[in-house]
A = this chain, B = another copy of it.
Amino acid sequence: MTYYAFGGFRLSSTLKEIAKELGLTASTVSRVVNSKEYVKPETRKLVLKALEKYNYMPNQTARNLRSKKTNMIAVIVPDISEGFISNIVKVLEHVLGESGYSIILCDTNEEPEKEEQYLNILLQKQIDGVIIATVSKKPDAIFKYFDKNLGVVFFDNLPNINVSFDAVITDNVKSSNMAVNYLCDLGHKKIGIIAAKQDETTGFERLIGYKKALTDHEIEISDNLIAIGDFKEQSGYDCMKTLMNRNPDMTAVYAVSSKMTFGAIKAAQENGKKIPDDISIVGFDVHDPSGLICPCITTIIQDEVNIAKLVSENIIKGIADKENSVKKKILLEANLVIGNSCRAI
């Protein structure tokens, strides 16, 4: 087995050092490093050999200072351990990496204040752009950090503010509509919803879609069938209990987040309800990497890959052409993935 001293051959030489070694000047060496013209072929060869010999690596910090670019993009998310988020982050990292960007990951743990703290640090770090799934209720607090030198793209949830900005999101109204239509078409009339915070666009729009579907099917909207949670499992559980209490005749429930779906199912099972025999369930963002969840849950699945690709595309555009890039909101369609958590009635 080969023996190594910890630490390999990095000598971390500078342009100047190498130039001195060769009796040249930093400019010339720089020209070679950056493959610029106007260097005598022989000189170039000499320099290249020295670069190799000293294992030269350009110091990006110095370059950043000069170019006022860092090739770093921050990705601010509420919870990296959530499937929907980590799937998107994975693609973001991959696609943006191919364009030479590195990703600074910031997990706010769903705490709005942390978004501000992060933005403060990140701007000092001179990042080129920020991709953010915000949970903030105070768009002012966030927007004040954005200036023309920063590319910004929102995804998942949007700030509730009257300014144009770039965003890539799922058409939440349409998705919910699809989910609830599906239940209506199966013959359900008493359909509950476990919605979410109405001051977040995701929560708000998903409720709209539910109402629209009912209206389209000429089913009356009843407040008794609407419960508002906070995206987390416990609230799904609590909401489900409430809904079941209030509506003994409810035959289906639509829950607008994965964790609330899990909570709802546990509440139903605890009350002795079988899924889908006694109650049908449609979820949102329910990922099952195991493929072993039973019953297999019918759920809305967002187009994570394309969300990430479009976010990447737009942040790159936004960084390249800060002044003129037209701010736009891109809506993607989601899919209803049919499992066996719903039955016809």
Contacts and interface: CB of A to CB of B under 8 A. Distances in A.
B57 A124 contact: yes
A65 B61 contact: yes
A163 B8 CA distance: 11
Contacts of A62: 65
A52 interface: no
B57 A61 contact: no
Contacts of A7: 146-148
B86 A125 contact: no
Contacts of A164: 6
Contact of A102 (B2, B104, B146): B104
Interface string A115-134: 00000111111100000000
Given A94-B109, A125-B61, A80 B86 contact: yes
Contacts of A12: 147, 149
Contacts of A57: 120, 123-124
Contacts of A61: 61, 64-65, 70, 125-126
A58 B147 CA distance: 16
Interface stretch (A192-200, A214-222, A247-255, A284-292): A284-292
Copies of this chain present in the complex amount to 2
Interface stretch (A16-24, A137-145, A174-182): A137-145
Contacts of A104: 72, 102-105
A149 B12 CA distance: 10
Contacts of A121: 102
A4 B4 CA distance: 58
A333 interface: no
A38 interface: no
A87 interface: yes
A2 B161 CA distance: 8
A60 interface: yes
Contacts of A102: 104, 106, 121-122, 125
9 contacts: A8-B146, A59-B65, A60-B126, A61-B125, A81-B86, A90-B107, A93-B107, A104-B104, A258-B289
| Shortest Cβ-Cβ A-B pairs, 7 listed | A8-B144, A7-B147, A10-B147, A105-B105, A81-B86, A292-B293, A4-B163
